[in-house]
Amino acid sequence: MFDLSWIDLTILVLASFRLTHLIVFDEITAFLRNPFFTVTYETDASGQLLRQIDFKGGKIRSWIGRLLSCYWCVGIWVALVVVGLYLYVPAAYPLLLLLAIAGAAAVIETKMYMS
């Protein structure tokens, strides 16, 4: 087993969170998702905004679209990559730290707008 400090675990968690959110939700990575699905928003009778996802293509393309639209699904793969980078590519640590700082900032910003 490897020795993992609490600060490194926190960095890995926040980096995974940020990279997952970047892939699944952020506008800057829409070009990755656009070939696989289209997102539209509709307002229901009560005025609530509903997100509608329409998957494109055949079985494989649709499957990739379902994967890219699923926060939990992408999160598992991102966590695998983040841990792999941490263990086997020490030079990637500054990138993980950058993602962790951005992830913490996103959490703080979300909390500020919720109150």
Domain residue ranges in the chain: 6-108
Strand 37-43 relative to strand 49-55: parallel, antiparallel, unpaired?
A: antiparallel
CA distance 90 to 112: 34
Backbone dihedral angles phi then psi of residue 81, each to the nearest 5 degrees = -65, -45
Over residues 97-103, mean pLDDT: 98
**Residues 16, 101 contacting (CB under 8 angstroms):** no
pTM for the predicted model, two decimal places: 0.88
Q: What are the tens digits of pLDDT across the range 49-59? A: 999 999 999 99
CA distance 71 to 68: 8
Q: What are the tens digits of pLDDT across the range 2-50? A: 789 999 999 999 999 999 999 999 999 999 999 999 999 999 999 999 9
Q: Is the pLDDT of residue 1 over 70?
A: no
Per-residue tokens: 111: 């909390």
Residues β-bridged to residue 54: 38
**Residues 38, 56 contacting (CB under 8 angstroms):** yes
Q: Give the DSSP H/E element, type plus range, for residue 15.
A: helix 6-24
Q: Where are the beta strands (DSSP E) in 44-114?
A: 49-55
